[in-house]
């Protein structure tokens, strides 16, 4: 079951440790107002759909920094891409940004 609040899920990534990672198009969600909030569009949910964490705030290009995809790297680390051409390593346990690098 996916959290009923989310109307537009861009990507879902099942996790071997249970639950999944969701990338959500928050521009379609009525509860989100600010650009900083729109940037925090990656969630980890448990097996029953409850939100475990929401990705932490990070410095990105305003208006461009929404995540578009996530994946597990060969090292098992969670990574996410966003519109501003960056890749972020996200702590799978708590949603904190561990590192980032420019791809474009």
CATH number at residue 75: 2.40.10.480
Answer whether residue 1 is part of any domain.
no
Answer whether residue 33 is part of any domain.
yes
Beta strand 67-72 with 9-14: parallel, antiparallel or unpaired? unpaired
Answer whether residue 2 is part of any domain.
no
Q: Mind listing the pLDDT tens digit for each residue in 31-87?
A: 666 777 788 899 999 999 899 999 998 877 665 678 999 999 999 899 999 888 889
Answer whether residue 22 is part of any domain.
yes
Tally of domains in the chain: 1
Q: Assign 6 to helix, strand or coil.
A: coil
Tokens representing 2 are 């996916």
Structural domain span for residue 30: 9-102
pLDDT class of 100 with cuts at 50, 70, 90: confident
């Amino acid at each position: 079951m996916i959290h009923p609040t989310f109307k537009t899920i861009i990507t879902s990534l099942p996790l071997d440790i249970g639950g999944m990672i969701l990338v959500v198009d928050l521009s379609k969600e009525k509860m989100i107002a600010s650009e900083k909030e729109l940037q925090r569009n990656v969630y980890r949910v448990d097996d029953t759909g409850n939100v475990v964490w929401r990705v932490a705030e990070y410095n990105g290009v305003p208006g461009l920094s929404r995540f578009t995809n996530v994946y597990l790297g060969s090292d098992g680390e969670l990574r996410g891409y966003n519109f501003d051409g960056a890749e972020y390593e996200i702590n799978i346990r708590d949603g904190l940004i561990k590192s980032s690098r420019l791809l474009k």
